[in-house]
Structure 1
Amino acid sequence: MAKSWENDPEYMSYIEDLINRPEVQKLKKFKQHHYTNRLEHSISVSYSSYKVAKKFHANAKATARAGLLHDLFYYDWRTEKSDKGTHAYVHPRIAVKNAEKITDLSPLERDIIIKHMWLATIAFPRYKESYIVTFVDKYCACQEVLVPFAVNVKNKCKSYLGYSGDI
């Protein structure tokens, strides 16, 4: 994703107190969806959700902030397991606890973060903003995996076929 989010003054006004916090920047250290880090993923979800929320006259500020904080946890979910439940169930609750250490969350923001794994969990979102982040999160995850994967496949096919042009 191009860094157009940094050039959007309204969006930046919503997340400026969060984006440079060490607790948020620490997300750079964790791989997310194979080709991105967790901070890149969180910004992508946040900014894309913010744009969708504006289009649907939803609370863009809460959507942007909760989207940025929805994966605020510091472990590799591929290798570390919890005895409290599945990663899909546990990590939103950890993210809420971590988010509450750095900012006050509204009930809307809490619901967005807790419910963003709906479809992998049975907790239905309560607000339209929660649905927005839930579906944008799935979309971003697919983009983050499938686009680089397709490029890799294309390059391997070109290499295998000895083709140097465009497919």
Structure 2
Amino acid sequence: MWTFFEYETYLTAVDDLMDHPAVRAMERLPQHAKGFSCFHHSVWVSYWSWRVCLWIGLDACAAARGGLLHDLYLYDWTSQKAPNGKWHGTEHPKTALKNAQTFFSLSEKERDIIVKHMWPLTLRPYRYLESLVVSCVDKVCAVAELLRLHPDPAAFRTARQEPRLRPVPRPRAA
């Protein structure tokens, strides 16, 4: 059902992030739908943000990178509050930005994407159109996950995995 157009090209924008232990730690954290981790959600948001920005002529690389790191908060939001004890919905962008800056060198645009992706909850206006794109894509992906319209997590590959072979369809018996 899901075809990832130019996925290998997308991976070149995020390959230095994709296999980092902090990013991979998101695989152990739940997200909106059972069986779909924070990592898979972030890759999905990152990929579709990259596609939209590519299509409309924005900085697709910054959108992909900011999208991948937008939920790098690294705690189970379903069983605990944000580290500062406040509500996850408004606080996790700041935690994600702090974590992302600890592990990676970020552009101003990538920082803006991460910290403002929860607009309007965060009440901070966007400085870049890429931030608006990632925020909108994040919301669409979250709803799709809740409705079980997401791809199988096995469909996502990291930059260092070999491409998956697609099964050859069997000919129909006459």
- Shorter chain as normaliser: what TM range? 0.7 to 0.9
1:87-166 equivalences under 5 Å are 87-147=88-148
Please give the alpha-carbon distance, in whole angstroms, between the structure 1 residues aligned to 2:117 and 2:140: 12
1:122 Cα deviation from its structure 2 partner: 1.0
1:102 Cα deviation from its structure 2 partner: 2.0
Deviates more, 1:120-129 or 1:47-56: 120-129
Please give the alpha-carbon distance, in whole angstroms, between the structure 2 residues aligned to 1:147 and 1:28: 18
Please give the alpha-carbon distance, in whole angstroms, between the structure 1 residues aligned to 2:21 and 2:2: 23
Q: Which amino acid aligns with 2:14?
A: I
Q: For 1:31-70, what per-residue CA distance to the aligned partner results, in whole angstroms no more than 9, with x for missing partners?
A: 1002211010000000000000011110000000000000
Please give the alpha-carbon distance, in whole angstroms, between the structure 2 residues aligned to 1:112 and 1:146: 25
Q: 1:9 is matched with which residue?
A: 8
Q: 2:70 is matched with which residue?
A: 70
The unaligned stretches of length 5 or more in structure 1 are 149-167
- The structure richer in helix per residue is 1
Please give the alpha-carbon distance, in whole angstroms, between the structure 1 residues aligned to 2:131 and 2:38: 19
Q: 2:51 is matched with which residue?
A: 51
In structure 2, relative to structure 1, the CA distance for the partners of 1:42 and 1:61 (3 Å cut) is same
> Is this contact kept in 2: 1:66–1:109, CA < 8 A?
yes
- Tell which structure's C-alpha radius of gyration is larger: 1
Please give the alpha-carbon distance, in whole angstroms, between the structure 1 residues aligned to 2:116 and 2:14: 20
Q: For 1:12-43, what per-residue CA distance to the aligned partner results, in whole angstroms no more than 9, with x for missing partners?
A: 11100010111111101011002211010000
SS in 1 for 2:147: helix
1:2 Cα deviation from its structure 2 partner: 4.1
TM-score (norm 1): 0.82
The unaligned stretches of length 5 or more in structure 2 are 150-174
Please give the alpha-carbon distance, in whole angstroms, between the structure 2 residues aligned to 1:80 and 1:96: 19
Q: 1:158 is matched with which residue?
A: none
> Is this contact kept in 1: 2:113–2:134, CA < 8 A?
yes
Deviates more, 1:46-55 or 1:92-101: 92-101
Same amino acid, percent of matched pairs: 41
> Is this contact kept in 2: 1:30–1:37, CA < 8 A?
yes
* Number of residue pairs the alignment of both structures matches: 147
Q: 2:81 is matched with which residue?
A: 81
TM-score (norm 2): 0.78
| RMSD of equivalent CA atoms | 1.7
